[in-house]
Amino acid sequence: MTMRGRWLIPVLKLAGAPILMVALLHPALAAAQEESPGLGATVGVRVTSLEDEHPLERARVDLLRFPDEYIQEGFTDAVGRLEFQGLRAPAAYILRAEKDGYRTTEVRFDLRRGEPGREVSVEMPSLKAASTARLGGVSSVRALSIPPPASKEFEKGAEFLSQKKSPRASIEHFQKAVAIYPGYFEAYFLLGMAYLQLNSPSEAQDALRHAINLNPKFLEPYYPLATLLIGKKEYGEGQRLLRRAQELDPNGWRWPFELARSEAYQKHWEQALAYGQSALKMPNAPPKVHLLMADLYSNTGKPDKAIEELEEFEKLDPSSPYIPRVHQVIAELRKREPSH
């Protein structure tokens, strides 16, 4: 039995998302399928911080049927978990997570007819990590270069985006800010993020690209733009952006991690494996890198190494919702004959 070209842990296809998460980074949400009664599927949700994958307790999670039909809400427990039961299929759903100190994050998932359930991860970026300091606003020289009316519009837009959870309202203010001050790369970045939250990938791509063109050393736009392009199968440009970001942030694990996934999507297994190994060596690399490595080792005919990676993942994250699937995969891998 060969697993070549397959993901052992299918949910890994959603694991990197982000910038703000899959629904914010992938190019477009598919149209919702016509709903029909299903088997009452159960969806397990795990909410963690994007920066260190720490479980987030008491995060509010709203469940919506795509595009905007409210279904129910819940709050995560001490290990960042909650469940929604009785979901109909086929249907497309959205999870919207909110927590003080973190940026509101949305993840889209689909349930197929007859599917009993699934696990979905939501990774929330810290507002502190996207603070004014990271957006370049702390430099007195930089602050003096921005006209006060533009800065005021920027602050209004940021308030609507991060605090009032209204990306649509924020767009007008960011647009006014860049109209007053065309060199306002921070405003273009947040404008792009607002468009991503509204599922407007073309507008988001233009804004993020403009931010990078204005200041190529400004790191923030690289991740969302790269993952947006890779989601559209524009692998070459997406990977060029990731490599440029890696030059700016040589100790960042996300750049080689996403490069590995991009190569794997193209079935370039050896290149993907090299990038994955690089990601593992980075400081603060999260446990999910071991899941990626397990998939890559499996697809390069190294089941023993894949098992080692899965066992290491379980040691590092024993409460992960992926653990039952990890056990299944280990059992499948143990049945394989060694590759020659």
Tell me, what's the pLDDT at 8? 61
Residue 86, H or E segment = strand 81-87
Distance set, CA 31 to CA 17, 21, 113 (Å): 20, 19, 16
In angstroms, the CA 333 to CA 339 distance is: 12
DSSP result, 218-284: --TTHHHHHHHHHHTT-HHHHHHHHHHHHHH-TT-SHHHHHHHHHHHHTT-HHHHHHHHHHHHTSTT
pLDDT of the residue at 199:
85
pLDDT tens across 268-288, in order? 999 999 999 999 998 778 888
pLDDT at 34: 31
Confidence of residue 4 (pLDDT cuts 50, 70, 90): very low
Q: How far is CA 145 from CA 83, 135, 141, 153, 190, in A?
A: 49, 15, 6, 15, 19
Give the separation between CA 194 and CA 225, rounded to whole angstroms. 13
Tokens standing for residue 135: 């957006």
What separation in angstroms does the CA of 76 have from each of 56, 58, 273, 288? Answer: 7, 5, 34, 20
Mean pLDDT of 155-171: 87
Alpha-carbon gap, residue 52 to 123, rounded angstroms: 10
As a whole number of angstroms, the distance between CA 60 and CA 280 comes to 32
Separation of alpha carbons 322 and 300, rounded Å: 22
How many residues are present in the chain? 340
pLDDT at 25: 25
pLDDT of residue 338: 62
140-214 CATH fold: 1.25.40
Query: How many angstroms separate the CA atoms of 259 and 306, rounded?
Result: 19
Mean pLDDT within 305-323: 89
Q: Which of 6, 97, 1, 2 is nearest to 294 (CA)?
A: 6
Quote helix, strand, coil % in the chain, to nearest 5: 45, 15, 35
pLDDT confidence band for 23 (50 / 70 / 90): very low
pLDDT at 16 over 60: no
Bridge partners, 91 (sequence order)? 111
The answer to whether residues 291 and 313 touch, using CB atoms and an 8 Å cutoff, is: yes
Look at the alpha carbons of 308, 313, 319, 325 in this order and tell me if their dihedral is positive or negative. Answer: negative
pLDDT at 32 over 70: no
pLDDT of the residue at 213: 96
In this predicted structure, which of 106-110, 225-229, 256-260 has the lowest mean pLDDT? 106-110
Parts of the chain belonging to CATH 1.25.40.10: 140-214, 229-334
Q: pLDDT at residue 182 above 90? A: yes
Q: Predicted confidence band at 266 (pLDDT cuts at 50, 70, 90)?
A: very high
Query: According to the model, what pLDDT value does residue 295 have?
Result: 92
pLDDT at 259: 96
CATH fold of 229-334: 1.25.40
pLDDT at 337: 54
| Mean pLDDT (whole number) for 34-52 | 70
Q: What is the pLDDT of residues 121-132, one digit of tens each?
A: 898 887 765 444
pLDDT at position 290 is: 93
Per-residue confidence band for 243, with pLDDT thresholds at 50, 70 and 90: very high
141 pLDDT tier (thresholds 50, 70, 90): low
Angstrom distance (rounded) from CA 193 to CA 307: 38
In the structure, what pLDDT confidence band is assigned to residue 233 with cuts at 50, 70 and 90?
A: very high
**Residue 262 is which amino acid?**
S
Q: How much is the pLDDT for 20?
A: 24
Per the structure block, which two tokens stand in for 321? 């919702």
Give helix then strand counts, H and E, for the chain.
13, 7
**Mean pLDDT taken over the chain:** 81
Q: Which helix (H) or strand (E) holds 303?
A: helix 303-316
- Residue from 198, 146, 202 nearest 170 by CA: 198
Q: Reply yes or no on whether the pLDDT at 316 is more than 80.
A: yes
The radius of gyration of the chain's CA atoms, rounded to the nearest angstrom, is: 20
Instruction: Name the β-bridge partners of 47.
Output: 122
20-124 is classed in which CATH architecture? Answer: Sandwich (2.60)
Which residue would you say has higher pLDDT here, 175 or 110? 175
Q: What are phi and psi of 100, to 5 degrees?
A: -55, 135
- Does pLDDT of 200 surpass 50? yes
